[in-house]
Structure 1
Amino acid sequence: MIAAEDIQFTHDIDPMSVAAFFVRADQERVEPDITPLKLQKLLYLAQANYLASTGQRLFASHVEAFDNGPVVDVVRRRFQGRQIIALDSRSEEISAELPADVHDFLTRVWEKYQDDSASQLWRLTHSQDPWKDAYVPGQFHTRIPDEAMRQYFTDRVPAAERIFHANVVVVTPDVFEDDAVADERLHAFLNS
């Protein structure tokens, strides 16, 4: 049996590598549409889901509350404007090989949100408490606490709408409803 502390998650990777993943994935579509605004929302959703799924940061950067929603500033400074981001020397030079578990996780994020427009993702992130609670009109660089994202996505976003790390198994309470032996095993596993 694998103990909970033996499960490993890659964490604190370079946020530019995550950004490059999304830009490259978008370039494979018939009609690429990833703008800096959409990229920022994808980064936030990836970080928040990873925090809720693993308890650790996906990338080693804070998410901040700006007027247009959650922002990862190091990526904002690199990709600005309103145009669709194209593969060029800026994105080629940040091509880092992602660990397999991160690549798998980001693929899941991309599959869920790739068809959403920047404005749809803007509305989604503006409706969520982590940004709303941290945002101060006209103020920039206000950190959205990791714990706020983790807690909101764990407690308020239904499991069916979340993205989980491949090493995380979601089990609903009714699975063990009438199975005392399985219930004891689960309890032993969680307390090991």
Structure 2
Amino acid sequence: MLSCDDTAKYFLAQVSEDAGDLISNLKLQKLLYYAQGFRLALYDELLFPEAIEAWTHGPVVPDLYRHYKKYGAGAIPCPEDIDFSIYDETTKSLLDEVYSVFGQFAAWKLRNMTQEEYPWKLAAQNSGTITHQSLQEYFKTQLNCQEAV
């Protein structure tokens, strides 16, 4: 199993600055949420063990948020210490698909999308932690909506 940091590094390594791509902390958090949700829905297993919480601006992995907080709303640079050998082909395929589908959206669009979804709404009303069960149940309903994920 990867860590949330490993997952974040993979997404950050996909950025094409020449194409005008950038990933802020806000956007990165939402990509992690979608990756975890689809991993649970497709494979009945976690992508990373860290909890996702329902914060004011959508789903957040608190430790990862604090790690990248220094970049504010700006772009997080590509990591120099990424080891691509830790990602199996299934995981790469999933992360590539999540980035292809959701990475095209701006951070605030992703924020608004996640706040309309059941896992965030449920957690925002209750404990604040988005449960793996709510992610799995919700994203299983989304598999029919997403063609390739």
Normalising to structure 1: TM-score of the pair? Answer: 0.69
Question: Are residue 116 (structure 1) and residue 102 (structure 2) matched?
Answer: no
Shift of 1:28: 5.4
Q: How does 1:64-83 map to 2 (within 5 A)?
A: 64-80=53-69, 81-83=72-74
Q: Hey, what does 1:35 align to over in structure 2?
A: 24
Distance 1:134 1:96 in 2: 33
Find the residue that maps to 1:83 and give its secondary structure.
coil
AA aligned to 1:149 is L
Runs of 4+ deviating beyond 6 Å = none
Distance 1:117 1:49 in 2: 20
Q: Is the 8 A contact 1:64 1:143 kept in 2?
A: yes
More helix by percentage: 2
Q: Hey, what does 1:96 align to over in structure 2?
A: 83
Question: Are residue 161 (structure 1) and residue 122 (structure 2) matched?
Answer: no
Distance 2:41 2:20 in 1: 31
Normalising to structure 2: TM-score of the pair? Answer: 0.88
Q: How does 1:1-192 map to 2 (within 5 A)?
A: 12-27=1-16, 30-80=19-69, 81-87=72-78, 91-93=79-81, 95-97=82-84, 98-136=87-125, 142-155=128-141, 157-161=142-146, 164=149
The number of residues matched between the two structures is: 145
Distance 1:43 1:162 in 2: 19
Distance 1:162 1:56 in 2: 21
Distance 2:96 2:9 in 1: 12
CA-based RMSD: 1.9
Distance 2:122 2:23 in 1: 27
Shift of 1:26: 1.2
Shift of 1:32: 1.9
Change (3 A) 1:162 1:151: farther
Q: Which segments of 5 or more consecutive residues in structure 1 lack a partner in the other structure?
A: 1-11, 165-192
Shift of 1:163: 5.5
Q: Which of the pair has more CA radius of gyration?
A: 1
Q: Which segments of 5 or more consecutive residues in structure 2 lack a partner in the other structure?
A: none
Find the residue that maps to 1:159 and give its secondary structure.
coil
Percent identity between the two aligned chains = 28
Q: Is the 8 A contact 1:27 1:86 kept in 2?
A: no
Deviations 1:117-143 (A, max 9, x none): 111111110000100111159xxx821
Q: Which has the higher contact order (CA 8 A, sep 6+)?
A: 2
Change (3 A) 1:135 1:32: same
